Structure formats: structure tokens, C-alpha cells
A and B are shown apart, each in its own frame.
Chain A
């Protein structure tokens, strides 16, 4: 149990559909990160929250992507009008402990767009 929970673990959808992923981070930590990992690549930073504020977004996050963290606890990542190029593993992470600059990752949500 890494302390970061993600669901669903796997989502298969048709092109053009919307999907939403949820992340429940380690409690009591105010920072939360989303990454995307494609096959054979390292994880790429997507966006970062401190409490409910989205403080940084990567250029990878097109306008079809939206992330929220409404109460500063869990977060959602929604992809609208999915494309085959969105197929990837979406990872959520939060700091292992305060000031350690080490992230604990969830097991990820794998998206397959047909």
C-alpha cells in the first residue's frame, strides 16, 4: 500500500469519449502531482496542485485536459474527446513526507483509446 490510491486502474474507451480519473493522495500533504507515462518512456509532468490551487501546468496538458482538486484532498483528471494519442498510464503522486522532496506514486490508471 503506497498510500496514494488511483481509480480506475484500467479504462478502455472509444475515441471521442470523455474519461475521468481519480486520485486520493497521502492525507495531510497539500501537494499533488499528475504525470503521464507512455510505453518505453519515463513519466512526464502534467500538472501540480498545492491544496486546491493548480499552480503549474505542462504544455502537454492541452485544452481537452482538465484537472481539479476541489477541496484540497482528492483530485480528478478529465480528458475530453479522447484521441488514440492519449493512451498512456496516468500517475498521481504526493510527497512522501514534508520537506523530503521524494514523491510517492500511485499504481496508475491505464487509458486505452480505441
Chain B
């Protein structure tokens, strides 16, 4: 079945450090890939998405590139801020699912950025 694997956290970085959170997936067909973020005390929200191979999703300085050959969608940011402290979830939807909206999530990676 479809699944998502993420690097385990928690990840602790100093402000302005470079961030990479690894994500790999297993899916049939051609999934769409997402990063969702959950800030403390808030609901899940979409950070970025990519719908086909080699697409790059970007938002708020974060980027991720859909790599079909390595089945990966790693999240990167060049300079993190304290306000980026949150839990990040890699996710996918697959057109082979009964509902193409159904999102399958990875376990999440907690990021703490210290001043």
C-alpha cells in the first residue's frame, strides 16, 4: 500500500541554520506530494505541494522537489527562524485511491529552532 517515511526527530537547530528533513514514499501510480505543518496549538496546514515529477513546491522559504527516481520529497530551508518551530508532515495523495483527496501522512518530524 501507499506509505510515507520521514526522518525521525526531534531536530534542533540554531537560528539561520540550514534545514533538511528527509521524506521518501511508496505509492502506486503517480502520487501528488505534500508537506503539511502543525504549529504549536494550531491545526494542520498545507506548506507546499508538487503534483508531478521534477516539480518544485515552495512557500515561506521552504522548498521540496518531487524526485520520482529516488521516490523522495525532501524539505529544505536555507535559513530557519524561531517561528519555524513546528511539526512537519510529509504526505501524499494517490489517484488510485477511492478518493483522490485522501491524504496519507508520514509520522512527522518535530523541529525546534533556538535563538
A interface residues with partner B (beta carbon < 8 Å): 2, 4, 31, 33, 40-45, 48, 50, 55-56, 91, 93, 95-96, 101-108
Instruction: Please count the residue pairs between chain A and chain B whose beta carbons lie under 8 angstroms apart in the complex.
Output: 63
Do A41 and B107 have beta carbons less than 8 Å apart? yes
B interface residues with partner A (beta carbon < 8 Å): 4, 32, 34, 42-46, 49, 89, 91, 93, 98-108
Do B44 and A101 have beta carbons less than 8 Å apart? no
With a 10 A CB-CB cut-off, give which of A33, A41, A42, A104 has the most chain B CB atoms: A42
Do A42 and B101 have beta carbons less than 8 Å apart? no
Evaluate whether A40 and B104 lie within 8 angstroms (CB atoms) in the complex, with A56-B99, A105-B43, A108-B43 already known.
no
A-B contact pairs, 14 of them (CB 8 A): A2-B43, A2-B45, A31-B99, A41-B107, A42-B91, A42-B107, A42-B108, A43-B44, A43-B105, A45-B104, A48-B98, A56-B102, A102-B46, A105-B44
**Chain B residues with CB under 8 A of A107:** 42-43
Q: What is the bound-complex CA distance between A104 and B43, given in angstroms?
A: 9
**Chain B residues with CB under 8 A of A108:** 43
